[in-house]
Each structure stands twice: as C-alpha cells, then as structure tokens.
Amino acid sequence: KRIIDPLNPRGCRVVALGTPSDREKTEWYFQRYVAHLPAAGEIVCFDRSWYNRAGVEKVMGFCTEAQYQEFMQTCPEFERMLVRSGIILLKYWFSVSDEEQERRFQARTTDPARRWKLSPMDLESRDRWVEYSQAKDTMFAHTNIPEAPWFTVEADDKKRARLNCISHILSKIPYEDMTPEPLELSPRKKAPSDYVRPPHNEQFFVPRVY
C-alpha cells in the first residue's frame, strides 16, 4: 500500500488473488497469475503471488506433496522465462521476528480498525510459526536464483522497512526524473454575472455529524 499510494493507478496496480475457483484448480498453477503480468511501462505488485504454494498451501495442507514438489521444480524456470521476456522481477520477503509478530497479533485483538486482519487462518498460523519458517527456508533454497533472487527486508520496524524497500526498488528500476516544472496559476476568471446558484433547500446534504 505504501509503495503504490503515490503512483498513477493507470500504470501501477496491486494483485491479490483469492482462493482459486474449481475451474482454476484444474488449470496450470501459474495460469491465473500470467493474466495479471505487466505490459511495458507498467508495475504490478503481487501480494504473496504464486508463492502461496510454497508457504500457506504447504503448511496448511492446501496442496498435495506432488503439487508442492512440482512447484519447487518449475517455479525457477517460470521466473527465468519472465526475466528473459523483459520483466524486471523483484521478490521481497519482509522478515518479522517471532516476538514482534506476537505483539502485532495482540494489538489487533484490541483495535477494532484492525480486527479484520485476524482471520481464522491467521489465528491458526500463529501456532505454526516454526512450520512457516521451515517452509520459507526451503522456498529460498529452491527459488533464490541469480535471475530473480530473494531480497529480505528486516521488518520489525514497519516505517524503516517500507522506506528501505522503496529505496531498493528504485535502485533496481531505470526511471526518469518525473518531477514537474514549477507551475504558477493565473487568476481565476470571474463567474458570469447572470449565474445564480440554486437554493440549498433544493439539494440533499450529508448530515453534519462531526
């Protein structure tokens, strides 16, 4: 969110795919992600992306062992194909300590604005910290390739993590300085003298609760 907020939504978007449909489950695993890959000049931020299979699906038993092994074998070549086609593929792992993760879980229980982040899946994942860590280590061992390496962001401090990640992205992507030239607005034209605004009682207003 913090990465894309200042960017033009016409050329940058976030993709966070939900649970695959029955039809999608019969497709090539990477197929539903391919449809969201960027064209030239575009930026796509995948939230978790195809690595769901190496993490949550593996730990929670949402895929078979054969599907998991197939992913580990084919994922590196899939990513090499993307890079050869001209896509700049950057993979980030935001590393949070066990203690900090627990602190965040506890904070969400008392904050109504963040309670939605505590899904039943999150609560079960809380008890599988070691399993997720092991899955991550295995994922890195198989998919940390020279063409598309993993970059770890130390993320106990959220603000520093975001800034460090943004700085790193900028160092990896060629871009032009798009700072606009200074702009001075001329005086506004006066409204026509014959224009009369309609009375307020003919309009609907949101109640002033605050």
pLDDT band for position 94 (cuts 50, 70, 90): very high
Q: What is the pLDDT of residue 127?
A: 85
Q: How far is CA 141 from CA 110, 144, 158, 207, in A?
A: 38, 6, 26, 58
Q: How far apart are CA 79 and CA 4, in angstroms?
A: 23
Three-state DSSP state, 153: strand
Domains, the chain, with CATH or none: 12-172 (3.40.50.300)
Please state the rounded mean pLDDT for residues 58-82.
Answer: 97
Backbone phi, then psi, for 92, in 5-degree steps? -120, 140
Q: How far apart are CA 63 and CA 69, in angstroms?
A: 10
Please state the rounded mean pLDDT for residues 53-67.
Answer: 96
Contact 47, 15 (CB under 8 A): yes
Which spans in the chain are helix H? 31-34, 56-60, 65-84, 98-110, 120-126, 129-143, 158-172
Residue 1 scores a pLDDT above 80: no
Instruction: State in Å, rounded, how far the first CA of the chain is from the last one.
Output: 28
Backbone phi, then psi, for 169, in 5-degree steps? -60, -45
Q: What is the pLDDT of residue 107?
A: 87
Q: What is the pLDDT of residue 113?
A: 81
Q: What is the pLDDT of residue 83?
A: 98
Residue 62 scores a pLDDT above 90: yes
Three-state DSSP state, 209: coil
Q: What is the pLDDT of residue 10?
A: 86
Q: What is the pLDDT of residue 101?
A: 86
- What is the chain's mean pLDDT, rounded? 92
| 27-53 pLDDT tens trace | 999 999 999 999 999 999 998 899 999
pLDDT band for position 179 (cuts 50, 70, 90): confident
pLDDT band for position 196 (cuts 50, 70, 90): confident
Residue of higher predicted confidence among 11 and 74: 74
Contact 162, 154 (CB under 8 A): no
Reading the block at residue 4, the tokens are 């894309």
Q: What is the pLDDT of residue 190?
A: 86
